[in-house]
C-alpha cells in the first residue's frame, strides 16, 4: 500500500512538473522513462501519466507523449515507444506487438519539429513557397472529400499567401484517382497506386486518411492534423 501511494504521488508530481515548469520538463520525463522502462507494468504507468496529462492540458499531451517515446527510442525500445505513441489514438498495443500502425504513429509523432521527409518531384504552382500543406487521402473517403473541398474553396487565398498544396493519394485504381484529382486546382498531386504501402505513406508515417501536415518555409514539419481548421499557421 505504501509503495502504491508513493507511486501515485510520483505520477501526479511528474504530471504537475511537466505542465507547470517548462524549463525542467524534458530531463524529468527522460529520467523517469529511463528508470521505469524495464518495469513489468511500464505501459500501465505510462498510460496513467498520459491520461493524467490529457485531463489537465490537452495542448501539452502530444509533446509529453513525444518525450516519453524519444527517451524509449534512445534506449532501443522502439516497440515500447510505438505502444506509447499509439495509445492516445485509442490503439491498445503491448510492448511485444510488432505493429506497422504503431510504428507509423511513432514516426509521425517524431516528424514534428524535424526536417520534412522528401516529397514527390512534381511541378509546384507557387512562385515563392512560404509553407506547404501536405494532404494524404484516398478518393473514396468521405472525410477526405470534406478537406479537399475546403482546400478547393481556400485555394486562391492559399496560393496568394504562398502556401503550396501537395496531395498524395493511397488509391490503387488509376481511373478512380485521375477522375477525382482532375478537379483539384493545384498542380502538386501524386499517386503511385501502391495504397498505404506507397513510399510516401511510409516515410510520413501515415496510418489513416485524411492526414494533413504543415511544413514551414524552412522545410520543418510544424504539425500533423486531421482537419484543415486546426492548421493555424496560414490563417
pLDDT tens-digit series, residues 38-78: 888 999 989 988 998 888 887 788 988 999 999 999 999 99
pLDDT in tens, 77-107: 999 999 999 999 999 988 777 789 999 999 9
Domains of the chain, by residue range, sit at 2-111, 131-230
Residue corresponding to grid cell 500533423: 224
Distance of CA 59 to the CA centre of its chain: 14
C-alpha distance from residue 53 to each of 49, 65, 68, 103, 226 (Å): 6, 9, 13, 23, 21
| Statement: 131-230 belongs to CATH 3.40.30.10 | yes
pLDDT in tens, 167-219: 999 999 999 999 999 999 999 999 999 999 999 999 999 999 999 999 999 99
**pTM tops 0.85:** no
Amino acid at each position: 500500500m505504501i509503495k502504491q501511494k508513493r507511486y501515485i504521488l510520483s505520477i501526479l508530481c511528474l504530471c504537475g512538473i511537466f505542465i507547470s515548469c517548462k524549463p525542467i520538463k524534458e530531463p524529468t520525463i527522460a529520467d523517469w522513462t529511463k528508470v521505469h522502462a524495464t518495469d513489468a507494468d511500464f505501459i500501465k504507468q505510462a498510460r496513467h501519466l498520459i491520461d493524467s496529462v490529457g485531463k489537465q492540458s490537452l495542448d501539452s499531451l502530444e509533446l509529453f507523449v513525444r518525450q516519453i517515446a524519444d527517451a524509449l527510442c534512445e534506449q532501443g525500445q522502439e516497440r515500447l515507444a510505438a505502444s506509447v505513441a499509439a495509445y492516445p489514438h485509442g490503439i491498445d498495443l503491448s510492448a511485444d506487438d510488432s505493429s506497422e500502425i504503431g510504428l507509423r504513429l511513432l514516426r509521425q509523432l517524431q516528424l514534428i519539429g524535424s526536417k520534412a521527409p522528401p516529397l514527390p518531384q512534381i511541378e509546384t504552382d507557387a512562385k515563392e513557397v512560404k509553407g506547404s500543406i501536405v494532404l494524404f487521402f484516398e478518393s473514396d473517403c468521405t472525410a477526405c472529400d470534406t478537406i479537399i473541398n475546403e482546400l478547393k474553396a481556400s485555394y486562391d487565398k492559399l496560393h496568394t499567401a504562398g502556401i503550396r498544396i501537395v496531395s498524395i493519394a493511397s488509391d490503387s485504381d488509376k481511373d478512380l484517382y485521375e477522375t477525382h484529382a482532375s478537379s483539384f486546382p493545384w498542380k502538386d498531386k501524386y499517386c503511385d497506386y501502391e495504397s498505404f504501402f506507397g513510399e510516401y505513406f511510409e516515410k510520413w508515417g501515415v496510418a489513416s486518411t485524411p492526414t494533413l501536415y504543415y511544413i514551414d518555409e524552412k522545410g520543418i514539419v510544424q504539425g500533423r492534423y486531421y482537419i484543415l481548421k486546426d492548421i493555424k499557421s496560414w490563417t
